[in-house]
Amino acid sequence: MVEQIRKYCLVCELALAKPRRGLSTIEFQRTVHRCTDIDSLHESIYKLIKIFRYVSQNDELTFAFTRDYEYQLEFYDLFVPEEFELIKIWLLKQINGLDRDVREKVLYRLLFDLYAKEG
């Protein structure tokens, strides 16, 4: 059995929370954008479902998303090149439709507004 080591704050001696890396809408979008073909979408299915479940916090929505995602991959037509991009757009619409990660979006919008150069 692997022993878990907890880290504590040096000042107040409270246990530090572990970061939840990779479970955000931003990571979902990055994963979708990294997919270059239908095989990479197949490989990413479990990661995308895991992120969707974490963000939605709703098992019924996650089940419907999983069913629809598998349906899209199952009936993918190799002879229609635009269909791959349509699946990626569908995935992005699904995660953006949840709009649960509002604080993260506000932070990125603030950073963009502060540091983006106009032109």
Residue 47 inside a domain? The answer is: yes
Residue 5 inside a domain? The answer is: no
Q: What is the pLDDT of residue 98?
A: 79
pLDDT at 115 over 90: no
Residue 3 inside a domain? The answer is: no
Angle between helices 25-34 and 82-98 (to 10 degrees): 180
Residue 13 inside a domain? The answer is: no
What sign does the dihedral 44-46-49-53 (CA atoms) show?
A: negative
Residue 14 inside a domain? The answer is: no
Residue 6 inside a domain? The answer is: no
Which domain, by its residues, includes 29?
25-115
Q: CA-CA distances (angstroms) from residue 117 to 37, 107, 112, 114?
A: 33, 17, 9, 9
Number of domains in the chain: 1
Tens-place pLDDT, residues 44-84 = 999 999 999 888 888 899 999 999 999 998 888 878 878 98
- The C-alpha atoms of residue 116 and residue 119 are separated, in whole angstroms, by 9
CA angle 16, 19, 22 (to 5 degrees): 175
Annotate 71-98 with DSSP letters as a single string.
HHHHT--TT-THHHHHHHHHHHHHHHHH
Residue 17 inside a domain? The answer is: no
Residue 15 inside a domain? The answer is: no
